[in-house]
């Protein structure tokens, strides 16, 4: 595996889907934490230099508990799931990370060691983040990963979908602009690596095809 195994899709799910997901999932003064109530899990990271860091998670689908699937959300994210061409989904989870004053690494990890397992990270929010203040996804020790002109890092950007083999070690990094960093993470198995489309039209055709 190498950085060439990483695929990036920008804006291919359509602005309507992008805006709906941001409105529902990303907290703001209008919807507060409505999506995250009443059930969510959260992790409090070790306090560093007097600063607190939290990660909130909520499953939209879990293969071990398929009867708990959020059917309304599953219908909404179809433009994303159709693009992935999954044979079977293992888990789909919403993540929300609090902002910190300096970038904080969550910790390198792999999502699954299975050869056919894939991970896709969809960015729910993040606008005008050329300077990485909205946070980013970082890969460990992949020397040929050069994206956004920075080795190993892919910045948070609303509507961006990043796909890679689940066994690649990676970590999220917090935002420093005062806003939460919200994502949907898809873990699934597939029988082939997706090919990065050259154009938006090609990607849309892939998403609609069987």
Pairing of strands 117-123, 150-151: unpaired
Q: What is the mean pLDDT of residues 72-85?
A: 88
Q: Which residues contact 183 (CB under 8 A, 6 or more apart)?
A: 94, 95, 121, 122, 123, 124, 156, 172
Residue 5: the pLDDT is 79
Assigned token pair, 66: 């398929």
**Angle, alpha carbons 130-196-198 (nearest 5°):** 80
Has residue 3 got a pLDDT over 60?
no
Its pTM stands at 0.83
Q: Which residue has the higher pLDDT, 89 or 1?
A: 89
Q: What is the mean pLDDT of residues 136-149?
A: 67
pLDDT category of residue 1 using cuts at 50, 70 and 90 = very low
Q: Give the lowest-confidence range in 12-16, 44-48, 136-140, 186-190.
A: 44-48
Query: CATH classification of 3-193, choosing from 2.120.10.80, 1.10.10.410, 2.60.120.620, 3.20.20.70?
Result: 2.60.120.620
What are 155's strand-pairing partners? 136
């Amino acid at each position: 595996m190498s950085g060439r195994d990483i695929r990036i899709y920008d804006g291919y799910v359509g602005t309507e889907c992008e805006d709906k997901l941001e409105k529902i999932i990303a907290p703001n003064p209008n919807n507060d934490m409505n999506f995250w109530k009443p059930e969510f899990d959260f992790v409090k990271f070790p306090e560093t230099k007097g600063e607190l860091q939290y990660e909130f998670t909520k499953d939209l689908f879990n293969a071990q508990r398929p009867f708990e699937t959020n059917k309304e959300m599953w219908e909404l994210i179809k433009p994303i799931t159709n693009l992935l061409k999954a044979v079977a989904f293992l888990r789909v989870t919403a993540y929300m990370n609090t902002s910190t004053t300096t970038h904080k690494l969550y910790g390198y990890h792999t999502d699954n060691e299975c050869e056919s397992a894939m991970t896709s990270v969809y960015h729910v929010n993040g606008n005008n983040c050329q300077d990485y203040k909205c946070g980013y996804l970082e890969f460990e020790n992949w020397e040929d990963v050069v994206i956004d002109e920075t080795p190993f890092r892919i910045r948070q950007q609303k509507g961006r979908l990043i796909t890679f083999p689940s066994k690649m070690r990676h970590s999220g990094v917090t935002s420093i602009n005062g806003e939460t960093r919200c994502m949907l993470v898809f873990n699934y198995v597939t029988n082939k690596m997706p090919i990065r489309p050259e154009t938006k039209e090609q990607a849309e055709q892939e998403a609609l095809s069987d």
